[in-house]
Structure 1
């Protein structure tokens, strides 16, 4: 018995019902659009940290939209309304993959920008407004979105190359290490200077803790997908690896769930955003 046959017999692919994909995609899309609108239209939230969080929500919106649209295409193909391997469908699939790559790179870049912003807030509080001006924040966001768009196109265009996959994984690991280092350093310093922090840095450390929770959720939701990429390169035909790959649709649902979880963390941990959400939802109900 060859590997393929054994893999198909022992570890059949786990299928996730389309309504699950669609529900997660639509709910997360609505949640993150609410975050984007809340930050844009509320003056009290026009600060570097909330701008970076708005960018993160926008990337989550792109991820939700792209995966929902991709799953709709799969459903249409299954019922015969689209060709599974037609030239138009292949191009659309490449666009969806490009947007997903852009969302990932943009999300982790936004997390890195937020981590740096929190570091400056805590350890350079007196100079913060001179360092993190809105002009610099805009320039950083412009750089993030430009680089993400370029990298996403390159990743999809050369997706068959292992070099691109390796770069993708290395970027994830390096960014993860840099963000973890900043947060660990901040909390170590917080413990050393506990009394001063209690008087001056309490709210800033609470914000850093909230963002640490957000980043932890990001890692948990995206890590299985990256293990999948590593397995593709390291052991593409091994039956045990194939068993893990058979769970790919579950990994995709978990990856999409990150966009669903973030707004809930915002609402639970951040009073300003929670108040803004209530106000926006109340206005929306009043208009309806």
Structure 2
């Protein structure tokens, strides 16, 4: 692993040698970002998402399909964080001469990291769509929600998504030299965005039309809670598009504009945006959910108390 730029498209899952085979690949200034920054951001986002997962597992009030899906979305973000931390750690160790890896070992490491990132992309898009569908059912089929979205069905959906993400990611990396892989990823991205946009647009339009007609208090409270969840997921979707958009534009340009080397030279910035998505998502969960925010505070305080007690015991 020499640098993030020389393996830029490998880190984006496809065509890692495009920049080296380009005749004009060096005509544009490359954006170099310190490995320490990648490592720090990856470590912070990893800790944040671990806290979210632990909080959802610990608090029984959060044991509902929507929070199960959010938990899985946090795990998807963790895949990006783990892959970034591991990759950066190997880069730093290699650059400082503390690790000498064989080409085969590095190739296997690249493949594992690429599969993790690809799984994160596919699973994140899938869970964002699943959460949108869950909010849609909550709002428009409130009385039948618990019979439609049972815990067993939620677990089955989660299992199918993870299985499909793992299998498809493995196939994508195995056949990364085929342009069909990029077409599949970009198509999947566009389909999920259209699906989410249609659901959210319908939800907000109907909520606006019926907002003055709701007079039953319990139903009003339920719909208000559901709309709050829909707004939260709209924010998550917007952040995902902003952070992952340049990545998918990069893939599209690989197919349509191989001479756009200046855009390719900014690839490290797109990697930073992807890591920032994993870092921002937990903050959105905590800000939008009072119950989750309360549990996260308890976890942080318990961790601090444990560290203080440990230090005191060592000193004594």
Matched residue, 1:55 = 72
For residues 169 and 227 of structure 2, the distance between their equivalents in structure 1, rounded to whole angstroms, comes to 34
TM-score, length basis structure 1: 0.94
5+ residue gaps, structure 2: 1-20, 308-316
Write the deviation string for residues 207-232 of structure 1: whole angstroms up to 9, x where unpaired.
Answer: 11011001100111001001111111
| Cα RMSD, aligned residues only | 1.7
For residues 86 and 123 of structure 2, the distance between their equivalents in structure 1, rounded to whole angstroms, comes to 20
Q: Is the CA contact 1:82–1:89 (under 8 Å) kept in the aligned structure 2? A: no
Instruction: For residue 118 of structure 1, report the CA deviation from its aligned partner.
Output: 0.1
Q: Is the CA contact 2:31–2:268 (under 8 Å) kept in the aligned structure 1? A: yes
Question: Helix, strand or coil for the counterpart of 1:251?
Answer: helix
Asked whether 1:154 is paired with 2:171, we answer yes
Q: Is the CA contact 1:63–1:103 (under 8 Å) kept in the aligned structure 2? A: yes
Kindly report which structure 2 residues correspond to 1:85-234, keeping only aligned pairs within 5 A, or say none: 86-196=103-213, 199=217, 200=220, 201-234=223-256
Question: Helix, strand or coil for the counterpart of 1:16?
Answer: coil
For residues 250 and 74 of structure 1, the distance between their equivalents in structure 2, rounded to whole angstroms, comes to 18
Matched residue, 2:284 = 265
Matched residue, 2:26 = 8
Instruction: From the two aligned structures, give the one with the greater helix fraction.
Output: 1
Instruction: For residue 35 of structure 1, report the CA deviation from its aligned partner.
Output: 0.4
For residues 214 and 270 of structure 2, the distance between their equivalents in structure 1, rounded to whole angstroms, comes to 39
For residues 245 and 119 of structure 2, the distance between their equivalents in structure 1, rounded to whole angstroms, comes to 17
For residues 148 and 263 of structure 2, the distance between their equivalents in structure 1, rounded to whole angstroms, comes to 46
Instruction: For residue 70 of structure 1, report the CA deviation from its aligned partner.
Output: 1.3
Distance 1:134 1:4, change over 3 A: closer
For residues 86 and 263 of structure 2, the distance between their equivalents in structure 1, rounded to whole angstroms, comes to 25
Matched residue, 2:297 = 278
Matched residue, 2:16 = none
Question: Helix, strand or coil for the counterpart of 2:32?
Answer: coil
Asked whether 1:248 is paired with 2:243, we answer no
Moved more, 75-84 or 54-63: 75-84
Give the paired residue count.
282
